[in-house]
Structure 1
Amino acid sequence: MRKWGPLTAVCLGTFMLLLDVTIVIVALPDMAGSLGASLSELQWVIDIYALALAALLLGAGAAADVTGRRRMYAAGTAVFALASLACGLASSPALLIAMRGLQGVGGAAMFATTLSLLGSAYQGRDRSVALGVWGAVSGAAAAIGPVLGGVLTEALDWRWIFFVNLPISALAIWMTLRSVPESRAEGTRRIDWAGTAAFAVFAGALTFAVVRADAEGWASAATGVTLAVAALALAAFVVVERRAAHPLLDLRLLRRPSFAVVMLGALAFNAAAFGVLPYTSIWLQTLLGLSPVRGGLVVLPLAAASFVVAAVGGRLLHGAPARLVIGGGLVLIGGGALAQGVLEADSGWGVLVPGFLVAGIGVGLVSPALAGAALASVPQRNAGMAGGAVNTFRQLGYALGVAVFGTVVTSRMADSLQGVTGDAGTAQEAAHTLAGGGAAALRGRIPDETLHEAFASGLDGAVLVAGAVGVLAGLAVLVFLRPARPVAAEEKSRPATATAAG
């Protein structure tokens, strides 16, 4: 146990923080009914967590290098646990959203240190075994999230999807302090607080603009101002990173076509594969009447296929060109999404299964290959930065995907409902209610068949956009991602300060 104690401690935290990305999906209708949450509030319950991970991941990794990775991991787990308790006790959507954001802060501190802790605790064959187990646990978290969320919601209450984190967190902290050795980066390094703040403002403002644009209008002053804030924050981030002695992201890396296209693939990957799932879960439960458990089981083919393909394909595809694995996987994800765009008013959940299976195969190909392709596209000394960047772009893609596809869903719904309501404003309001899980409140004044037709139309539109994103990103990877060039001699002679993180 002493030998594998660090692996157990790190895997416990990783499983928990990645589980919370998907565990809330099947609980959304119950949250909406219990707290009276609107569609945009439900979107923020999902998005704020992914945004905090994306915005703080690189900064948390740099802070851990300075303050100590074990200390950062334990502190992040403690913050995550306290935020989970507050989420479970939340009495309003605003409080739940705020505490989900705090969960993301703790999750970023944990996620940024997991690989570096394993890299410092194990060497040689043991390190390979540890990283393999860590990867399998990461995949299992995604697979079990919707099912476990459904079981807890149905058997107990939606609040237990957060309360379950408390004993796991306590065990992870105890094992971390007992068995994980402390480690820091060699040499002196400063934390890029300005870059962290600028990126956080950019990501938050951009997502907020997309979430609110459907209600406010894309041409409204509020949307314009928010997008302007996002643009200014992005410009500030570029200026800060170009001048920083220890930047969060060396912008020169983006001049490398291979690195840039891998980041594009990471952004599109989480958006296309997972961005529509929250709305699919709401449709399954509020229109088809499935229980939370059955709603979670419907999504299981995607997660199970991805887990199996990732486990088996890791060996069978070893040495295969990354552009074929990632590009082909993204095309499959896009094709799986397009295959789901066949819903009609009388469709059942079974029509989604073929698309889920195809998308799951694509996820199993892309997920383990992205990080390796990012590391292979940069000099060794930038390995840690590349690994953090690919996870950052993945989480940002998920947050933006949920926001953008939510706008598509409600827009298509409003078009379908306007013939019944007779007024564009009333149709828009009804669409937001329907997409937010409020079908029961609409059934008295809108025919049930019309509600089914509207939701099917909204989901069809969203998965078609998601499919296009996946296919186009896959084609870009196939065209622009090239085999890594041998590292020049001068690159090899420089210290690889982030090898453990990679």
Structure 2
Amino acid sequence: MTVKKSNPTLTLMATVSAAVLVVANISSLNVALPELSRELGASQSDVQWMVDIYAFFLASLLLPAGALGDKFGRRSMLLIGVTILGIANGATLFTEHLDFIEPDKARLVIAFRALSGIGAAFIFPATLSTITTTLPPDKKERGVAIWTASVFFGGLSGVLLSGALIENYSWESVFFVMSILSAFILILCWVCLPNSSSPDGSNLDPFGALLSLFAIGGIVFAIMEGPIKGWSSDLILYSFTAGGISLISFVLWELKTKKPLLDVRVFRDRSVRSGSFSLLVQFTVAFGFFFVAVQFLAYVLGYGPLDTGLSFLPTALGLFPASLLAIPLTKRLGFRVVGFAGLCFLGASLYMGTRFGTDTNFYDFALIAIIYGAGIGLASPPATEILVSSLPSEKQGVASALNDLLRELGAVIGIAIAGSMFNSGYRSSIDTLKEFPDEILQLAKETPALAPQLATSLDTSMNQFLYEVTASVARGWSNSLWALFFIVAGGAICFIIWAPGKRSESKSSSKKKQFVSGLLYREVTTYVEIEGGKRRDRIRVTQKRFSEE
């Protein structure tokens, strides 16, 4: 393994900035979608794909991109990814001049968002794996906690930045600022990041990478399109089937091949299984909550884009302190206790939110946002730390990619479930309104954004109509949060059963056997080259790698 000497603080700053860039590119577009739809004449399907296609390529390419970083250098892959992301955001500004390629501007935006997702797939795994392979041992755990908090901060900052830009400028300003930030972060990473790699210990596994692409791509596509096409439609069933078959084939191939992309035997370890499950539940709930909260703030509290972004800031009051305390508490109390407490905080915030109605105010929302942030802050860092520490240093790109993949899958599942439940509650509530003209109700069912425009045609009952639409949005919000509450409640019960307790963790770590975390390893001696300004040092390192025997 080769690591260039670097400043840990600058390394952490650069990697965290790149991670924030990836997540902010997801959340920033949500606020710009209404204006994009109006300006480009985009259909509802086009608007949906502007968001979904970024996550689709990001999730599908994470594992292969992580392996490429292990093989050829994590810094190199990250710089390539930031460059692609910056070019894609910048190119979106010139859609009106690219009609010779595609006359439909909305489709051009979708194409550039796909390119952005490809760039993000090279960035995301390289950020965490750089932290775990280059930071000193005494700073690594804090670095993982800060990285975890930064991922959620990226979502908040994206909404806040986009809201401020949309209120003062056009939708193009969002892509312009993201391209400028990409250029700045590219320079920061170029100067501050060390290039770590493990060309001898990493495995590209082309066939396994192809199977993972089909497996993740098929499942993610089906989850994204299920609420739109219908869960029983042929396309969705075929996508689930193809993804499921590819997933089974991937697992069988990884068990058989001598140099797997992802050694699936790592999931024999209870800590890894429970940590992976916890991350999936957390991000299902987190992104589902975020998706419906934006609509609740806009249509019930009546907030504009900037105020909507500012309303999420209280989340940081719970998130950052809890993130810094999570891993030290895990060492003292055990992963089971801390992880379960985090999921319980999440469940409590969702239960409180289900009781919101048309009379809710900002202080009510701020309270559950703080509790929600504390839950994520407690549950996420130890789960991430357990996951990335389960694989040796030469596979940290893949370990980071697995961690990121669970997050992206959770995001896709959460948005699909929360969106479906919101639409179901909102539309069923609109259907109960019999005192208004049917043609107006049918239009209102499509989106609550049309309510003010539709209300102008109702002379005497305009205020009543607006109130009923607002109440219907609150009904959809409540339905969504109940669904997410049951997910986190079931997840917490399964977690407390599956996760190892403090006694088993201490027993496992104190026994010096070849079985570590339930897996068989062998000791291998390698050499690390540290390049300074005037000299190059070569030191001997003993590592543990998974044994084939």
Question: Alpha carbons of 1:335 and 1:50: their partners in 2 closer, same or farther (altered >3 Å)?
Answer: farther
Match of 1:18 among 20, 23, 33: 23
CA-to-partner distance for each residue in 1:196-244, whole Å, 9 max, x for gaps? 3333333333343344333433333333233323323323333433334
Alignment of structure 1 residues 186-335 onto 2, 5 Å: 186-187=199-200, 189-315=202-328, 318-335=331-348
| Residue 486 of structure 2 corresponds to residue 468 of structure 1 | yes
d(CA) in 1 for partners of 2:233, 2:139: 57
d(CA) in 1 for partners of 2:223, 2:145: 37
Q: Report the 3-state secondary structure (helix = DSSP H, G, I; strand = E; otherwise coil) of the residue aligned with 1:488.
A: coil
Partner of 2:533: none
Deviation of 1:80 after TM superposition, in Å, equals: 0.9
Partner of 2:523: 493
Deviation of 1:377 after TM superposition, in Å, equals: 5.6
Question: Alpha carbons of 1:212 and 1:174: their partners in 2 closer, same or farther (altered >3 Å)?
Answer: closer
d(CA) in 2 for partners of 1:305, 1:371: 18
Question: Alpha carbons of 1:308 and 1:86: their partners in 2 closer, same or farther (altered >3 Å)?
Answer: farther
| Residue 32 of structure 2 corresponds to residue 27 of structure 1 | yes
**Higher strand fraction: Structure 1 or Structure 2?**
2
Gaps of 5+ in 1: none
Deviation of 1:374 after TM superposition, in Å, equals: 2.2
Would the aligned equivalents of 1:412 and 1:458 in 2 still touch at CA under 8 Å? Answer: yes
122-131 or 395-404: bigger deviation:
122-131
Partner of 2:498: 480
CA-to-partner distance for each residue in 1:309-341, whole Å, 9 max, x for gaps? 223455555433111111221121122112111
| Residue 420 of structure 2 corresponds to residue 390 of structure 1 | no
Question: Alpha carbons of 1:389 and 1:345: their partners in 2 closer, same or farther (altered >3 Å)?
Answer: same
d(CA) in 1 for partners of 2:132, 2:252: 32
Give the total of aligned pairs. Answer: 497
Partner of 2:100: none
Question: Alpha carbons of 1:286 and 1:160: their partners in 2 closer, same or farther (altered >3 Å)?
Answer: farther
d(CA) in 2 for partners of 1:412, 1:137: 33
Question: Alpha carbons of 1:257 and 1:311: their partners in 2 closer, same or farther (altered >3 Å)?
Answer: closer
d(CA) in 1 for partners of 2:276, 2:137: 29
Alignment of structure 1 residues 418-429 onto 2, 5 Å: 418-420=431-433
Deviation of 1:79 after TM superposition, in Å, equals: 0.4
| Residue 59 of structure 2 corresponds to residue 54 of structure 1 | yes
Would the aligned equivalents of 1:51 and 1:396 in 2 still touch at CA under 8 Å? Answer: no
d(CA) in 2 for partners of 1:252, 1:424: 58
Would the aligned equivalents of 1:337 and 1:466 in 2 still touch at CA under 8 Å? Answer: yes
116-125 or 454-463: bigger deviation:
116-125
Deviation of 1:368 after TM superposition, in Å, equals: 1.4
| Residue 84 of structure 2 corresponds to residue 79 of structure 1 | yes
RMSD over equivalenced CA pairs, Å:
3.4
d(CA) in 1 for partners of 2:324, 2:240: 41
Question: Alpha carbons of 1:5 and 1:272: their partners in 2 closer, same or farther (altered >3 Å)?
Answer: closer
Match of 2:178 among 154, 160, 165: 165
Would the aligned equivalents of 2:354 and 2:482 in 1 still touch at CA under 8 Å? Answer: yes
Partner of 1:184: 197
| Residue 458 of structure 2 corresponds to residue 433 of structure 1 | no
Q: Report the 3-state secondary structure (helix = DSSP H, G, I; strand = E; otherwise coil) of the residue aligned with 1:491.
A: strand
CA-to-partner distance for each residue in 1:402-424, whole Å, 9 max, x for gaps? 12211111122221122347999
218-227 or 359-368: bigger deviation:
218-227
| Residue 64 of structure 2 corresponds to residue 65 of structure 1 | no
Question: Alpha carbons of 1:69 and 1:433: their partners in 2 closer, same or farther (altered >3 Å)?
Answer: same
Equivalent position amino acid for 1:408 in 2:
M
Percent sequence identity over matched residues?
25
Equivalent position amino acid for 1:467 in 2:
F
Deviation of 1:396 after TM superposition, in Å, equals: 0.9
231-240 or 398-407: bigger deviation:
231-240
d(CA) in 2 for partners of 1:179, 1:457: 49
Q: Report the 3-state secondary structure (helix = DSSP H, G, I; strand = E; otherwise coil) of the residue aligned with 1:184.
A: coil
Question: Alpha carbons of 1:20 and 1:59: their partners in 2 closer, same or farther (altered >3 Å)?
Answer: same
CA-to-partner distance for each residue in 1:33-78, whole Å, 9 max, x for gaps? 4344455544433333333332222211111122222221111110
Deviation of 1:453 after TM superposition, in Å, equals: 2.2
d(CA) in 1 for partners of 2:330, 2:477: 34
Alignment of structure 1 residues 109-128 onto 2, 5 Å: 109-118=122-131, 121-123=134-136, 125=138
CA-to-partner distance for each residue in 1:331-359, whole Å, 9 max, x for gaps? 21122112111233454454433322221
| Residue 160 of structure 2 corresponds to residue 147 of structure 1 | yes
d(CA) in 1 for partners of 2:172, 2:22: 16
Partner of 1:365: 378
Would the aligned equivalents of 2:52 and 2:224 in 1 still touch at CA under 8 Å? Answer: no
Would the aligned equivalents of 1:259 and 1:378 in 2 still touch at CA under 8 Å? Answer: no
Q: Report the 3-state secondary structure (helix = DSSP H, G, I; strand = E; otherwise coil) of the residue aligned with 1:396.
A: helix
Would the aligned equivalents of 1:211 and 1:406 in 2 still touch at CA under 8 Å? Answer: no
Would the aligned equivalents of 1:142 and 1:303 in 2 still touch at CA under 8 Å? Answer: no
Question: Alpha carbons of 1:369 and 1:196: their partners in 2 closer, same or farther (altered >3 Å)?
Answer: same
